[in-house]
Amino acid sequence: MAAYNGAYVYVETTGDRGRIDQAIDAATADLGLLQRSVARKRLRESTQPFPRFQVVFEDERVLLRLRDREFDLPVDGRAINTKGLGGDPVKASAHIHGHDLNQTLEGDRGTRYLEFQFHDDGSVSIRTRIESEYLPQRISYTLTYRRAI
């Protein structure tokens, strides 16, 4: 996996934000008016694409820099207590499956799953899934990144 070490930048495609917003709207549609309004606001803030991210695979660990957070995790799935993307306490874990890196951030409000799919052309697709007992259905979307030059 060391061949994928490096920095990656977001490749915005037409409709990315719209698809994310549609997934949020569908997941919150059955909530009451006030709950729906608060949930949509929080989810829109927390689903902003990472402008860039960095990944470093070393031995049996991976270092991920996402937004202003750094996750230094074993790739055997063991959970580490740390702070999540929004600063809340989470249990973070990572494991490798083929050419994919799967990261899980489990907190009090729900779980965020990030599946990094590394491609031979130097691009990375990040499939994000957000699940919570507070949401009637999960939120799922995929964004594309390319290796930074």
Q: Spell out the residues 6+ positions from residue 97 whose beta carbon is closer than 8 angstroms to its own.
A: none
| DSSP code, position 58 | E
- The domain in which residue 127 lies consists of 2-147
| DSSP code, position 59 | T
Give tens-digit pLDDT for 3-59.
899 999 999 888 899 999 999 999 999 888 899 899 999 999 989 999 999 999 998
pTM exceeds 0.75: yes
- Tokens representing 18 are 């719209």
**Biggest CA-to-CA distance, the chain:** 49
Give tens-digit pLDDT for 73-88.
999 999 999 999 888 9
Mean pLDDT of the chain: 93
